[in-house]
């Protein structure tokens, strides 16, 4: 399929005018890091203008964003001939996709990943209203796990039909390491200062409360006197509402807990190969890609019973599944993890076998493509206006 990505941005004037407001400064900073294409796929950046001072203008920001996308697409014949529009999240992207598709007279599809069904609409009433629009008016609803599909459907009282498409895992990129690969991985800067024979528990997650950092650090503080040579290594984005480095210092566990911030994507398989186990105590998820990648690397995983984790992880067989927001349960699971290397290895092998059965990214892409084709065909069958198969997205 021919695919074009619309990545909406906020308009800002040229410098030095862009330095006058915080929003303009943030927009200029963000746009400096954007790609115009990735893997041969063009990425467009329609800019939404928010007039200043904003109190004198229509406060319908969502409507202004939709008009930005519609105007941008209609001025470009190739985009205006698209057969379908897909939103990468339920909100805000799904709402934009529904409205843009309605203007173009084509079907819409939206995907749910986790926070767009849980945290964001729970915290923001306006997002909750837009989520309900998506659930009622979108032609295709996709979730990354069965449980997330059920959670999404619970927002509206009417029946909604969902397709579950698991995010496939690249089994060649994420694989159990050879002895040489493990030695090489332990030379990575995030692991190099740790003794080569010391086991590593790795966490990958944005430094926010919802990823379970506070429970993990509380559990690790309790474990520090008995953890022997274990080291906790954490990586994630450089923004969030938890100052992980300060929390480590305040708990007096700097000798066995390490925060290394953001890492390039190509380093993630290396860090997994250099670790002995993986932990992700999130408060909510759809189905964590990091969990699946760790399992593919044959690491035993400790994670919370949220989202679709129960669909891939069986407690006591291929990992540990614990309640969310429970530092004591997390501490107990970590103690068990540290007790027996044979048990860790057995659960890691079982984890790898589980992910092998989940399919590859190509398998997931094929299922998504088939869904989009069905939506286009259904729209063509149900309309009196002929729809040509332009194979653009």
Whether 158 contacts 138, CB under 8 Å = no
Q: Which residues are paired to 348 by β-bridges?
A: none
pLDDT at 387: 35
Dist CA 221 CA 253 (whole Å): 6
Tokens of 38: 């990735």
Tokens of 168: 């496939």
pLDDT at 392: 41
pTM value? 0.89
What are the distances in angstroms from CA 254 to CA 27, 261, 332?
36, 15, 21
pLDDT at 389: 36
Dist CA 110 CA 106 (whole Å): 13
Whether 200 contacts 276, CB under 8 Å = yes
In terms of Cβ atoms closer than 10 Å to its own Cβ (0-12, 13-18, 19+), residue 214 is middle
Token pair 């501490």 is found at: 331
Angle between helices 125-137 and 95-104 in degrees, nearest 10:
40
Dist CA 104 CA 360 (whole Å): 33
pLDDT at 386: 36
Q: What's the DSSP call for residue 41?
A: E
- Main-chain dihedrals φ then ψ at residue 259, nearest 5 degrees: -110, 125
Dist CA 170 CA 55 (whole Å): 49
- CB-CB neighbours of 87 under 10 Å: 25
Tokens of 145: 């796990």
pLDDT at 100: 98
pLDDT at 51: 75
Dist CA 88 CA 8 (whole Å): 12
pLDDT at 385: 39
pLDDT at 340: 87
Whether 341 contacts 349, CB under 8 Å = no
Nearest Cα to Cα of residue 257 among 161, 190, 356 = 190
Tokens of 272: 């997994």
Give the helix ranges, DSSP H, for the chain: 22-31, 61-74, 77-80, 95-104, 119-123, 125-137, 146-153, 179-185, 213-223, 244-250, 268-273, 289-296, 309-312, 327-339, 341-356, 361-382
pLDDT at 55: 63
Q: Please state, rounded to an integer, the average pLDDT across all residues of the chain.
A: 92
Q: How many residues does the chain have?
A: 393
Strands 37-38 and 41-44: antiparallel
b/e per residue 249-276 (b: at least 16 CB within 10 A) = eeeebeebbbbbeebeeebbbbbbbbbb
Nearest Cα to Cα of residue 326 among 235, 243, 223, 214 = 214
Per-residue pLDDT of the chain (393 residues; tens, 9 = 90+): 999 999 999 888 888 877 888 788 888 888 888 999 999 999 999 999 887 666 666 678 999 999 999 999 999 999 999 999 999 999 999 999 999 999 999 999 999 999 999 999 999 999 999 999 999 999 999 999 999 999 999 999 888 999 999 999 999 999 999 999 999 999 999 999 999 999 999 999 999 999 999 999 999 999 998 887 999 999 999 889 999 999 999 999 999 999 999 999 999 999 999 999 999 999 999 999 999 999 999 999 999 999 999 999 999 899 999 999 999 999 999 999 999 899 999 999 999 999 999 989 999 999 999 999 999 999 877 754 333 333 344
């Amino acid at each position: 399929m021919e695919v074009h990505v619309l990545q909406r941005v906020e308009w800002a004037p040229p410098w030095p005018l862009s330095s006058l407001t915080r929003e303009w400064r943030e927009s200029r900073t963000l746009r400096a890091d954007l790609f115009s294409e990735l893997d041969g796929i063009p990425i467009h950046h329609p800019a939404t203008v928010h007039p200043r001072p904003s109190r004198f203008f229509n406060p319908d920001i969502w409507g202004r964003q939709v008009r930005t996308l519609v105007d941008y697409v209609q001025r470009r014949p190739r985009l205006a001939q698209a057969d379908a529009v897909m939103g990468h999240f339920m909100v805000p992207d799904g709402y934009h996709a529904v409205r843009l598709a309605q203007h173009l007279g084509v079907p819409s599809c939206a995907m749910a990943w986790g926070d767009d069904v849980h945290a964001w609409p729970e915290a923001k009433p306006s997002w909750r209203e837009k989520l309900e629009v998506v659930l009622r008016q979108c032609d295709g609803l996709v979730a990354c796990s069965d449980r997330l599909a059920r959670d999404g459907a619970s927002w509206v009282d009417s029946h909604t039909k969902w397709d579950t498409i698991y995010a496939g895992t690249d089994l060649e990129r994420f694989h159990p390491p050879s002895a040489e690969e493990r030695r090489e991985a332990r030379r990575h800067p995030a692991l190099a200062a740790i003794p080569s024979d010391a086991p590593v528990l790795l966490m990958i997650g944005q430094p926010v409360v919802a990823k379970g950092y506070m429970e993990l650090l509380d559990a690790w503080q309790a474990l520090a006197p008995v953890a022997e040579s274990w080291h906790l290594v954490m990586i994630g984005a450089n923004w969030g509402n938890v100052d992980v480095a300060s929390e480590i210092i305040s708990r007096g566990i700097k000798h066995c807990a390490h925060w290394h911030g953001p890492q390039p994507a190509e380093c993630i398989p290396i860090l997994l190969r250099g670790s002995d186990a993986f932990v992700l105590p999130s408060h909510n998820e759809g189905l964590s890609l990091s969990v699946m990648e760790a399992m593919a690397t044959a690491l035993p995983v400790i994670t919370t019973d949220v989202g679709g984790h129960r669909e891939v992880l069986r407690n006591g067989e291929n990992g540990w599944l614990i309640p969310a927001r429970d530092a004591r349960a997390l501490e107990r699971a970590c103690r068990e993890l540290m007790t027996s290397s044979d048990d860790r290895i057995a659960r890691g092998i079982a984890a790898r076998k589980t992910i092998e059965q989940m399919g590859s990214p190509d398998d997931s892409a094929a299922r998504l493509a088939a869904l989009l084709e069905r939506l286009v065909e259904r729209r063509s069958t149900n309309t009196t206006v002929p729809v040509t198969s332009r194979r653009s997205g």
